[in-house]
Structure 1
């Protein structure tokens, strides 16, 4: 059975402000439809992704900014970060974790989302291990995105 994640709904407080942010970040706008004054749907797809995001008015009851841990996997995190910064997006500096628990291990190691700054060490992973280097950014409401560098995906991915 294939289960493909296709869509994530992001709660935002100001639809036009969020639309401007995701356009600036280089996400492709797929639709912008207003059904009435209480319902508007905007769908964006990150470059190279098969999963899109929806934001709008009347699309979710979740609190604006409450979606966290949206991972964007990139081949070269320095290039991706520089492009986003060049587009006016406030992206953190590169970091890795002190204990190595965030980086996915090919031998069944565990993965833990790097919430907050606890355990973060400035700079890329010392050996530039796949799944080991991160940068973060947030949309204007605080929905949280994580860039993660992966050059060679784990088996079965």
Structure 2
């Protein structure tokens, strides 16, 4: 094994979710129709190998059920301010013995954490 390639994020409306994740700081890597009313939307953090795809075609993956996706940042205060400036709500910065964290919840309720 080399690395994790793609993590699927279950959403109800991939276009709405795409707009949200672009505001958070992801970049669009691929957007392509894959079937009737289905679009493959793949996003990534600039410079990172791992990407995410916004899915609504797996019945067993309920929209909003993702937890534990952690995104490392160099400066959490600056990252939180930059994301808030784009109109995205970010939870308070919490200090833990293993670092600082701030929670972001997407429109479907999926939870991401920024980590410094």
Q: Which has the higher strand share?
A: 2
1:48 Cα shift? 3.5
For the residue of structure 2 that corresponds to 1:10, the secondary structure is strand
CA RMSD of superposed structures (Å) = 1.5
Q: How does 1:38-49 map to 2 (within 5 A)?
A: 38-49=37-48
Q: Which has the higher helix share?
A: 2
Distance 2:93 2:81 in 1: 11
1:38 Cα shift? 4.2
Runs of 4 or more, structure 1, over 6 Å off, are none
Give the aligned partner of residue 13 of structure 1.
Answer: 12
Summarize deviations over 1:122-144 as a string: whole Å, max 9, x none.
Answer: xxxxxxxxxx1111101101111
1:3 Cα shift? 3.0
Summarize deviations over 1:37-95 as a string: whole Å, max 9, x none.
Answer: 2432100002342210001342x330001111100001111111111111111101111
Which is bigger in relative contact order (C-alpha 8 A, separation at least 6)?
A: 2
With structure 2 as the length reference, what TM-score do the two structures score? Answer: 0.90
Kept after mapping to 1: 8 A contact 2:40/2:53: yes
**Could you list the runs of 5+ residues in structure 1 that have no partner in the other structure?**
104-131, 150-157
Q: How many residues align?
A: 115
